[in-house]
Structure 1
Amino acid sequence: MSDDQADSDRKPRDFVASLEHGLDVLGSFDAASPAMSLTQVADRTGMNRASARRYLLTLAHLGYVSRDGRAFRLAPKVLQLGYSYLSALPFSAFAQPLLDEASAISGQTVALAVRDGDVSVYTARAIAQRSLAVTVPVGRRLPLLSTSTGRAMLAFDPAEQIDALIESSQPILLTDKTNVDPNLLRRELELVRNHGYALVEQEVEVGVRSLAVPFFDNNQRVAGAITALTSMSAVTTKQLLSDILPVVQNVADQMQIALKAGRTDINS
């Protein structure tokens, strides 16, 4: 383990381990395991059954977990945690109208993502009003290296930080077309930096092509990325670049202008 890794793993004196364990329990539930038994939660978190039981019953008492016989699942109250974050974003008030307009103009799903460590997180989206439109749930987390939004944000990091992330990341094959080659990823990120947008085809989902443009804050740091998600059968790469890229770029430009002006409402 490197000295940097050891420093990052070293917990402060006032670290509350019980809070960490409670959050681990909440994080153990996912789409593949929406309901789990006590034993399953214990296995997923690495706790013994007695500890897992205490945390589950505490979370149930607080309303974050529900219980049906031996099965536990997340309760709707968990959404309050995510809503608190979303409502506190500096651009939350004005992002949605821009996404709605861009989706209406382009006929495609348009979304906003922010960075959380080595993942890209969708925080807002406008789903195209047509059949078979590509959908993306708010809160979905995907690897920076595999997504158009992630690459659009990551490409503007210093080269040494990009290298460190690539070297430390465990390859995740989301599809058989996911690029996990370190050298190819470095070249791809260089292209993104030069072109100002990232284009990903079927690396996250088969049949889906996406394009993303970053936007920056007052300090010229990447604040997030705007993406359009399209079906490969409906939109060609040429159409994506000629017709939809300008729409996405316009949203990113408006977000950037508003952030730099310190505005909290794009229409104010």
Structure 2
Amino acid sequence: MAADEKSMPFLKNLASSDRKIRTSALGTLRTFLSASTTSRALTPLDNLKLWKGLFYSLYMCDRPVPQQNLCADLAALLDVLPDDAVAPWLVGFWDVMGREWTTGIDVLRMEKFLLLVRRVLGRSLVWAHEVPKAKGAKGKKAADARRVALLELFREWPFESTGDLKKMPVGLRLHVLDIWVDEAEKAGMIGEDSTEADAEFLNGIREILQAMIGKTVTPVKPRAKESLADERLPWYEKKEGTEAEDEEMTEDGDSDRDSFGGFDD
């Protein structure tokens, strides 16, 4: 399928200056993508053009609440796709973000695109955490395939290791490193709801980031190391003596506050 006005007449309307037209076009796109035969037939160029239209849909959106709602709606488009169409769809997203990040987003609009990246990343992690509808061995195979596909996507795009700044600008890399643990926790991959499969997936991210640290651009290395040292991650180990020292400092601090009687008159 080639992305053009005949096959996707709503494409131009995604970037309309009229909010009602943009909203209608987004609804049409959601219906369009929900047909598995259609979404599976999308080419890389199709996904790129669709995400370029969605980029401008958010670009034209004003006021915080509508922007927040739109970011959530764009991220949720992933939910209507069959599993084998998700990774190509996300490649289109990261490709457009990488192209537009440095020159296509001004300072006044950056905040809403930071939110869009967070929402799409978060929804991607939820997709990898959720149990597919298929049961038994088939369901396990589908779940494993989801996690493998997402790890490969992360390796190629947000955690790209060669330092290709045209593909992934520094600011976009740093933002993803800042938020990925938060979003993994929200997705249920960290904490009481996490599974052994989640731990294996997180370890896969760990390996990708460790490989990236040795190759990527200098400003990114310390942020990558910092994200891997997050105390919420399953491999985090509290240094010996730290907890006791913290308690001692707290007790000393409480003692000092209790003994302080104020200034003499």
TM-score by length of 2: 0.27
Relative to total residues, which structure has the larger strand share, 1 or 2?
1
